[in-house]
Copies of this chain bind each other. A is one copy, B any other.
């Protein structure tokens, strides 16, 4: 077991199963695109343990509280780690986080997007530490996200090729 998975286990965290898409949806792209020492990570949303889209769905500030949205962003990080493990074999191959683009599906009255996406960043920083986990970031409000998910995040990381 690698170092990052050891840290996940120490925190009692379990990665979700691979993504289960809604019936009839076929996606013609990989969740992670590796090229040399770069890995581009497709937009991920929060997953339940079985790989289905996590509930609650809807708009932050209306259907979800800020706290629930923070948890959705944290689940999104775990979903992304599950994809990285599947594509790279070993999470320790992620040497550094580089860019995180955090998208929040929010009601017009809610604009504290950074406090939502902190659910993602806090976990990454905790697992990789301040040097390797550091990432440039944006956290912004979207008109909508696929299938009503409250949070979607895409990223780029440096990997050991």
Stretch at the interface among A2-10, A62-70, A111-119: A111-119
Partner among B42, B118, B141 whose Cβ is within 8 Å of the Cβ of A136: B42
- CB-CB under 8 A from A35, the residues of chain B are 96, 98, 158
Question: Are A29 and B137 touching (Cβ within 8 A)?
Answer: yes
Chain B, residue nearest A28 (CB): B121
- Interface range, A side: 35 or more
Contact with B along A70-86 (1 / 0, CB 8 A): 00000000000000000
Partner among B103, B112, B136, B138 whose Cβ is within 8 Å of the Cβ of A140: B103
Query: A125 at the A/B interface (Cβ < 8 Å)?
Result: yes
Question: Are B144 and A29 touching (Cβ within 8 A)?
Answer: no
